[in-house]
Amino acid sequence: MSTIIHKYGGTSIGSIEKIKSVAKKIILEKEKGNDVVVVVSAMGKTTNKLVDLAKEISSNPDKREFDVLLSTGEQISISLLAIAIKSLGYDAISFTGYQVGIKTKGIHTKSEIDDIDTDRIKENLEQGKIVIIAGFQGINEDGDITTLGRGGSDTTAVSLAASLGCKCVIYTDVEGIYPVDPKFYPNAKKLDYISYKEMIEMARLGAGVMETTSVETGYRKNVLIYVTSSSKDTKGTYITENKNTINYKPITGIAIDDNTSILTIKNILSKSNDTSTILEILSNNNLEIKMINEVASDDEYSNLSFIVSKGDLGCVDKAMEEIKLKINCVEVCKDLDVSTISVVSKDINYNVINKIFNILKKDNIEFKQVFTSELSISFIVDNKYKQRFIELLGSEFNL
């Protein structure tokens, strides 16, 4: 008898029918003789609806209270799932983050799990119960409710797996990890295995399925993660470090980030403090900048380019007003119709780069920016080139 974690995302439990079918899936696992711990997200669009309620009151709702609000979403899910399992004749018990001792540190809405007290979980597993835990939430040292930010339920699941020393199955609305999103490249072949580091790089660059924090937690604590479909009975993808099982293709995959916009500030006096003034204003407005690029346009002036999330454009407008007030003559351009296409590889060598640039040249695909990291090379392209570029990369590297 071993313990296993099941994690179900919002889409997988997006309706009462889906909750009932998830209950049956969990019972099947229990029937195999395993102790089952389940972590769930909020149902479907519940979190978005709660966010909208708060935003109707204040554009910048108090973060402590925002966490109190958001945490109700998962609490609804755990109770409904427990009711469903019990109505099928199996014993189950639900716990919120604070009830099961998920202690967090850091700031509200972006807290980190510090410690998990597994006593209550183990005690209930020993009594033969299926234990259902609210993802995404915890409690800080002041006794306040906290949430973990994007992908928080995955982080809860992986952290629990680390504390209980067991495997973590992430049930989701896709069949596993693909080298490139099948939405853009239908021929994409699902991966059987991917290493933590490659997965983190893919996630960081916008490949959907999982967020970086949860995979990083798995990496640090060596948790075997299995990503698979909650609705279909197909093979999924293992995220692990076992060298023998890692694929040896030249590139791991392609990450596509639609949530990209380029912001360019032109005519900045090169020999002034204007650049630092601009950066200070952006930082005061809590803008998360993905990349900065400064290019001299001539001896006197330079242009500053930023890549920011489309979701941050509200803050961007506010910051731009402040910048124009402080610095005369600057001109601001926004370019929203772009995407970031990143090629992820354990080994970004000359051969890989050469192939990519050949594709760009042969097909007259223009890119606006290019940047690299240890495991990736990223291109910002106009959306009109996006689909073609992805198809050519997919076919060239046999993804």
Q: Which of 172, 167, 222, 230 is nearest to 4 (CA)?
A: 167
Q: Is the CB of residue 101 less than 8 Å from the CB of residue 93?
A: no
Least distance (Å) between residue 65 CB and a second copy: 4
Beta bridge partners of 87: none
Q: Which is nearer to a second copy, 82 or 164 (CB)?
A: 82
- Encoded tokens for 391: 């198809």
Q: Name the minimum Å distance from CB 147 to a second copy.
A: 12
Q: Least separation, in Å, of the C-beta of 288 and a second copy?
A: 23
Please report how close the Cβ of residue 93 comes to a second copy at its closest, in angstroms: 7
Nearest approach in angstroms of CB 30 to a second copy is: 17
Nearer to a second copy, 153 or 260 (CB): 153
3-state helix, strand, coil in the chain (%, to 5): 40, 30, 35
Rounded to an integer, what distance in angstroms lies between the CA atom of residue 193 and that of residue 251? 14
The CA distance from 260 to 271, in Å, is 30
Query: Whose Cβ is closer to a second copy: residue 46's or residue 195's?
Result: 46
**From the CB of 89, what's the least distance to a second copy, in Å?**
11
Q: Given the rule CB under 8 A, which residues bind a second copy?
A: 16, 19-20, 50, 53-54, 56-58, 60-62, 64-66, 68-69, 71-72, 75-76, 78-80, 82-84, 86-87, 93-94, 96, 98-99, 143-145
Q: Give the chain's largest Cα–Cα span.
A: 77
8 A C-beta contact, residue 10 and residue 42: yes
Neighbours of 115 (CB within 10 A): 13
User: Shortest gap between Cβ of 174 and a second copy (angstroms)?
Assistant: 26
Ordered DSSP codes for 329-381: T-EEEEEEEEEEEEEE-S---HHHHHHHHHHHHHTT--EEEEEEETTEEEEEE
